Structure 1
Amino acid sequence: MKKFFININILFFLTAFSLSLLLAGVPTQEIQNQKKELQIFSDIERTFSSGNISLISSYFPSQIYLSLSTGVNGFYSGNQAYYILQNYFQVYQPIAFKYTQRSESDNGFATGVFSFENRNKKGTAQVFISVEYSGARWKISLITIK
């Protein structure tokens, strides 16, 4: 009879231990979303430092609002936004980008300073970007460069 109790205790211990390992090894949905959010902000930073729109184009929803110092102002499709921003970065060639503020939530935003070169002159512009988590993915809903 003593052997039976030892086996039950061992079984209980092994079950509890296995369950704790299983739960520790699988990130929760919230942690996964946070990692994806950090990725979107990282991709935005790399885009504004390099001018490579392809890094963020997958985050464009069907309609995105753009407001640029060139006079572009309004809602555009993801494809239109891609080419508008590509043209913008050809004129205002990126040097660097640095975040000044970042809010990490389901409706997050970021502000930063975009350094560029235009016609052999260096300049800076303020950037505001709004992101939202919708439909199990992060999307950029607004880009302002002034």
Structure 2
Amino acid sequence: MSGSGTGLRLLDVSLHTEEQGRHAVALGARAEEPGPLRVPEGAVVSVGLTFLVDHAIDGLTFEERRTGDDHLPVTTRTALGGFRRGGPYEVRLPPRRMPVGRAHCGLYRVTGRLTDGEGHELARADHELLLVHLTGAPEARTAPDAT
């Protein structure tokens, strides 16, 4: 969902990793993704957001909820602050390390939400992420290819 009619229009959501670079998250009608983004365990991931603001918004917050089969949900909230009318604004969230270990590997459903200071949802993006176990020696670790 792009968030039209809410005062904020989400233009782009992307995931950035040092190893794999930038990956766009499909929004709205473009959501025919070729499958979940494959991320190796322990990878450092940051979220990039690009949006337009139709009117001033105070207390903008990005909330990410990651759920998966046999995994407890993990929710992180990042306060982004106030934004005046205009844009596009580009925000890169602080990097976070993905969990390590076979027990954490698997498919996760991720929901990112932008909310205002009163908690109203302004925009939302959903995608899937496949956390894969690393193989090989520590200095040459790679995520196995899809079969």
TM-score range for the pair, normalised by the shorter chain length: under 0.3
Structure with more of its chain in helix, by fraction: 1
Q: With CA pairs under 8 Å and 6+ residues apart, which has the higher RCO, 1 or 2?
A: 2
Question: Is the radius of gyration larger for structure 1 or structure 2?
Answer: 1
TM-score in terms of structure 2 length: 0.27
